[in-house]
Amino acid sequence: MRNVIISDATLRDGSHALSHQLTKGQIAAYAQAADAAGVPIVEVGHGNGLGASSLQVGLSLLDDREMLQTARENLSRSRLGIHVIPGFATINNDLRFAFDYGVDVVRVASHCTEADITERHISFTREQGKEAYGVLMMSHMAPKEVLLDEALKMQSYGAEAVIIMDSAGAYLPTDVMDRVGHLARSLKIPVGFHAHNNLGMAVANSVAAVEAGARIIDGASRGLGAGAGNAQMEVVVAVFERLQIKTGIDLYKALDAADIVEKSIMASIPYISSVSLVSGLSGVFSGFSKHVTLAAIEYGVDPRDIFFELGARKVVGGQEDKIVEVAMELKDRRERG
């Protein structure tokens, strides 16, 4: 039987779905439930990670310290994880205090071609004796050879795993097999996979990732996450049980945790909206959905056109200001005929 580590992104990627308005009560209740289920890693924070709360990408209701403290107080078995994008999060202002709040696992992320920027954050994490994972976001934008090159950099910096993110939900299972397999055969550290469900493939892609050699799979209860959501964690756990892939998670308790998300956290169940589907097809970051929808309304343009134009321009997370720029240009183009 194969072993896979499940990393739970409900309270981090799920924050996108709530416009980063998670409350202390929600964090406490879900963390307790995930801990009881034996989820190995529970990520907490703003959707874009530590230090990201801002007008541009969305202001959090709670600051990072409140979120981490609340989660820490309610986790005993599960390790506390954070998502860190260098630039949003600095070592001295953000990462250092995160360790004071008991963070165990730091997932240091960059765009899939920019692993160089993760060196100091990964090194600092290892120097504190904590676990550091490298994360390559928007991985569909680079061929597998480039992904390996970037992953090797993270490995050399001391990363103890490399997670490739399908941030746009653009992959089909064959894409996942090809990329994860290439990395798993070539790296000395475990490979992980983070799915989004824009094309309805999140769980199937997670299975494909494990078949190709992934040892870490991200999921979120009820799929709570940016855009069409993540791989639905309780479904992943159940499917893995059928496939004799061991996660160490108690399925009934994972279902209880998912019920808490449905009843007490999410405003609506994630589904593949037209906008999310187009996000996946155009290969644009799922977290842009709310921004695109708002810009489309404000400028009276079709959100699907915005997504395809953003995809053509290869816009990535952190370039949210491009959404308005594209919406304005589309409006201008239409008015000029």
The residues of the shown chain that bind another protein, judged by CB under 8 A, are: 116, 119, 123, 126-131, 149, 152-153, 156-158, 160, 188-190, 215
Distance CA 86, CA 95 (A): 10
Distance CA 264, CA 7 (A): 21
DSSP, res 76: S
* Smallest separation (angstroms) from another protein to the CB of 116: 5
* Smallest separation (angstroms) from another protein to the CB of 291: 33
* Smallest separation (angstroms) from another protein to the CB of 190: 5
- 105 or 266: CB nearest another protein: 105
Contact (Cβ atoms closer than 8 angstroms) between residue 42 and residue 83 = no
Quick check: helix, strand or coil at residue 284? coil
- 153 or 196: CB nearest another protein: 153
* Smallest separation (angstroms) from another protein to the CB of 208: 19
- 23 or 128: CB nearest another protein: 128
- 125 or 282: CB nearest another protein: 125
* Smallest separation (angstroms) from another protein to the CB of 214: 11
Contact (Cβ atoms closer than 8 angstroms) between residue 94 and residue 51 = yes
Contacts of 320 (CB under 8 A, 6+ apart): 56, 57, 288, 291
- 152 or 226: CB nearest another protein: 152
Paired tokens of 316: 């990535």
Contacts of 78 (CB under 8 A, 6+ apart): 8, 31, 34, 35, 38, 39, 40, 41, 42
140 catalytic? Reply is: no
Distance CA 129, CA 230 (A): 30
Q: Which residues does the annotation mark as catalytic?
A: 16
